A and B are shown apart, each in its own frame.
Chain A
Amino acid sequence: MKAKDYRSDLAPDWCPGCGNYGIVAALARAFAELDLPPERAVLVSGIGCSAKTVHYLNSYGLHTLHGRGLPVAQGIKLARPELTVIALAGDGDGMGIGAGHFVGAGRRNLDLLYLLFNNQVYGMTKGQAAPTLEFGARPKGLARPNPQGPVNPLWLAFASGYTFIARGFAFDTPGLARLIAEGIRHPGLAFIDVLQPCPTYNDLHTRAWFAERIYDLQAEGYDPAAADAAAFAARASEWGERIPVGVFWRRERPGLEDVLGPPAEGRPLDRAERLLAGHRLAP
């Protein structure tokens, strides 16, 4: 299948110039590269502009609740471990209302991919500050400069136990597609912080602003599998004149799926009878 075969009939209704167009394209491209049968892929989003992504791809798509995409995605994965499950979240979904689930998922290390659509604003509700917006910034949608500081998604992923941590750029479709494919292939919980400029509400961190600053970690010889915590910390904290993209951290470790054992087989009635027998009173 080609990338365009994965696109659904629906025309996206995002604003012209939205980073989301690049992300949909990168997903389709990654699926094509992996030769992934569409019925094996399940995309799960929350609420917001980012969440509409699932409708533009021909696979199973769940457009769920604000902040709750990750629990729904994990429920699907635990029910059908053989499916390729990808959770999508805006920065509010992921780092605000869904932050508790972000952390909880890390502890489980299920084999799924989580994309954060990070543009530092809440697009759908007209431009409020997102949890990733720095203190004092005032993109056009804010009444006053941001009175709160940002959370660093890469650090939070690290602290929570994610085993693949990366950052991509929505306007580098080939690069992002490569990261997505790597994240899908990674056996464990993979996180990609996607810089996804919002042309309508974030007039500070624009496509051009990012393009001047981003550099590729791997091009500079950074090895995410060999880097230690200090090396990770240094790169993950970098934001300003230089913003790294690429893979920051890669490890493998056992997770919930390894200890739960396979899903049940056999007749439910037989299992229930076995349980009931354990409560027999002698004689």
Chain B
Amino acid sequence: MVDFTWRIGGPQGAGIETAGELFARSLARAGYWAALRREYHSNIMGRHSYLDVRVGDRPRPGFYERVDLLAALDGETLVRHLGEVRSGGTVIYDPAVLDRRLDQLPMLDAPARRRAQARLGKGARVGDALRALAEAGAETVGLAVAELLRGADPRARNTLFLAASLRRLGLPLEALQEALAERFGGNARRLEENLRLAEAVYAALSGPEAGLSLRPSPGPRLWLSGSVASAIGKVAAGLGFMSYYPITPATDEPFYLEAHPESGVRVVQVEDELAAVNMAIGAAAAGVPAALTTSGPGFSLMAEALSFAGMTETPLVVSLYQRGGPSTGLPTREEQADLLFALFAGHGEFPRAVLASATVEGMAEDAALAMALAWRFQLPVIHLADKNLAQTAKTVWPIPLSALPEAAPKRAREAEGAFPRYRLGAADGVSPFLPVGSPGAHYWITSDEHDEYGHITEDPELRVAMMEKRLQKTRALKAYLPPERTFRLFRPEAEAIVVGWGSVYEAAVAALDAVPGVGYLHLFFLDPFPEIAPYLEGKRVATLEQNATGLLARLLPVAPETRVTKFNGRPITIEETVAAFEAVAAGGAPARVVLTAGV
């Protein structure tokens, strides 16, 4: 069995991401499965960043807090992560950094420095952190960085640690060579230098007795991040227009589509989120499926437009990539705190749908379904995701795009002259759709209450009829969605059930294996809210989510006895989820449990 976690750390700008991608791709080429996630500051250069890759002989859910192999490009990494390498694990380091005192590391901020000094002593040096790692059972491997880099571009430091890591894992050099050739194929000088450095490192270090062997490829696979999966899902569903304002972590999706004009999507970066959401509404009214992406602060600016889309029955899809809040919060960190906001933003009463992605690969189908529902029912759909899903990348099986749903409205058969865009009488509350600009006809779209043609009305009876028509769509949507698409229940017979949503999914599924005493109910849809009361009846209930107050509890038909929460901006880990599940299974867990893994 192969299942290990590698972590590489260093300052932003040192090529951590490139090294991480190459690490994952080298292992994928060798027939393994890999999942990569990264942590970084809201900054451009110099502050600490790190990246985990979990590797296996088959795909496994979730990430661990503690790693098997830590590659530390600098001293700060050794200090920050000194508690996170497993006994029996390995640390690769540059001996030149050991001398520095902790207070001489300019980017090691006060809280982190004080915690380390509390453990290592006030005048501690980086070398003391290394010693602590060794005392905890890690093998330490020094890399002669200065010597190896002589005559080479100093930025190739990351290549040394990449190669050293793969050497210590015992991966044959050819897998790395192929990955480097794929990455730097267009630049002969850079490729030559990287290959030379890789070879030098492999010669300088020894490998394990039994290392990773090359395995036959399991079959055709993809390397995908959640953002890209979501983008492609939307394209498959018929996306033709995306307007956006850049905001972390939502920008990857429009950036990807802009960089790939073969997607056929017209992508426009606009002056603010108010413009972005209203432009998307205009495009959709004209018959072109439109969507946008944003995060909490941007979604706050879209509240009036949600109400507008709801009132005018214009299909709109917003992928809301949550991040640490409130306000500017933690722009590059993980959180799931916008649940209630997504459900209730926008004044007045109007139907919407809210679904939340659980996995990277699921983002494609979720995004396509969001588009399909928006167009089938002519309403705003909010697709919840988060930083973790956006920026985690994995080896996955090819996504069957032809099976994805499409954005297709109930079309008007024909129209001439004034067209009743909001015709009453349909059982599902959905009027036949005619795009603005269709030949031979005309109608009005009004944010005021309106009659069937879209003219303003204040008539009390017509108002009631129109409101009921719109609200009927919620009932129709509920009847339309198969229950198995809206939630999934593992181990229903357990006497304690943990309920979760969003990207806690994989950690929860992994924890189930280790804790037989709990079941797990995962919600994919939050509006319409699935009928889960029968499955929670008579059970002890807990919630699991990454926010401070346990927002989900307010939506459940039964009050949970425990809310398992995490809100330190770091993603949930398998170890802490297992511990939480064990506490729930044992009974008597406090009303709120706060998870704190991560640095």
Contacts and interface: CB of A to CB of B under 8 A. Distances in A.
Interface of A: 8, 10, 37-40, 42, 44, 47, 52, 54-55, 58-65, 67-68, 71-80, 83, 100-101, 103-104, 107-108, 256, 260-261, 263-266, 268-269, 271-276, 278-283
Given A54-B444, A279-B224, A72 B279 contact: yes
Contacts of B265: 264
Given A101-B275, A261-B261, A60 B442 contact: yes
B436 A42 contact: yes
Interface stretch (B189-197, B230-238, B565-573): B230-238
Contacts of A261: 261
A275 B442 contact: no
B270 A47 contact: no
Contacts of A279: 222-224, 228
Contacts of B395: 281
Given A80-B287, A272-B401, A281 B223 contact: yes
A225 B589 CA distance: 77
B442 A75 contact: no
Interface string B268-281: 10111011101111
A283 B25 CA distance: 11
B454 A61 contact: yes
Contacts of B275: 68, 71, 74, 100-101, 104
Contacts of B436: 42, 60, 62, 76, 80, 83
Contact of B279 (A55, A75, A280): A75
A112 B279 CA distance: 14
Interface stretch (B239-247, B555-563, B579-587): B239-247
A161 to B, nearest CB: 13
A269 B282 CA distance: 24
Interface string B450-478: 00001110000000000000000000000
A276 B241 contact: no
A73 B29 contact: no
B175 to A, nearest CB: 11
Interface string B258-296: 001111111010111011101111111111101000000
A64 to B, nearest CB: 6
Contact of A10 (B237, B447, B455): B455
A281 B282 contact: no
When A and B form their complex, which 10 residue pairs have the shortest distance between CB atoms, in order from nearest?
A75-B282, A264-B264, A104-B271, A75-B279, A272-B236, A71-B278, A79-B288, A72-B282, A79-B286, A79-B283
10 contacts: A42-B436, A55-B444, A59-B442, A75-B279, A75-B282, A78-B241, A83-B436, A263-B264, A268-B237, A281-B28
B240 A272 contact: no
Given A101-B271, A272-B235, A76 B285 contact: yes
Given A75-B281, A275-B263, 11 more contacts: A39-B438, A62-B446, A65-B308, A79-B286, A80-B286, A256-B268, A263-B266, A272-B232, A276-B399, A281-B29, A283-B29
Contacts of B264: 263-266, 268, 271
Contacts of B220: 280-281
B406 interface: yes
Contacts of B437: 39-40, 42, 60, 76, 80, 83
Contacts of B286: 42, 75-76, 79-80, 83
Interface in B201-242: 217, 220-224, 228, 231-233, 235-241
Contacts of A42: 286, 436-437
Nearest to B224: A279
A59 B287 CA distance: 16
Nearest to A273: B401
B58 to A, nearest CB: 15
Interface in B514-550: none
Nearest to B418: A58
B260 A78 contact: no
A103 B271 contact: yes
Most chain-B Cβ atoms within 10 A of its Cβ — which of A58, A108, A274?
Answer: A274
A80 B290 CA distance: 13
B439 interface: yes
B422 interface: no
Contacts of B25: 281
Contact of A39 (B280, B399, B440): B440
A160 B243 CA distance: 20
B247 to A, nearest CB: 16
A254 to B, nearest CB: 15
Place the interface of chain B in its size category.
Answer: 35 or more
B250 interface: no
B304 interface: yes
Nearest to B455: A55
Contacts of B304: 65
A129 B256 CA distance: 45
B441 interface: yes
A38 B455 CA distance: 17
Contacts of B240: 79, 263-264
B274 A101 contact: yes
B182 interface: yes
A274 to B, nearest CB: 6
Nearest to A10: B455
Contacts of B104: none
B73 interface: no
Interface in B1-38: 25, 28-29
B92 interface: no
A147 to B, nearest CB: 27
Contacts of A71: 270, 274-276, 278-279, 282
Most buried by A among B265, B270, B304, B443: B270
Interface in B141-192: 178, 182
Contact of B401 (A55, A63, A77, A269): A269
A279 B221 CA distance: 8
Nearest to B436: A60
Nearest to B441: A39
A47 B448 CA distance: 10
Contacts of B238: 268
B504 interface: no
Given A75-B279, A275-B262, A283-B217, A63 B288 contact: no
A4 to B, nearest CB: 16
Contact of A44 (B224, B260, B282): B282
Nearest to A60: B436
B445 to A, nearest CB: 5
B371 to A, nearest CB: 10
B290 to A, nearest CB: 7
B222 A39 contact: no
B305 interface: yes
B310 to A, nearest CB: 12
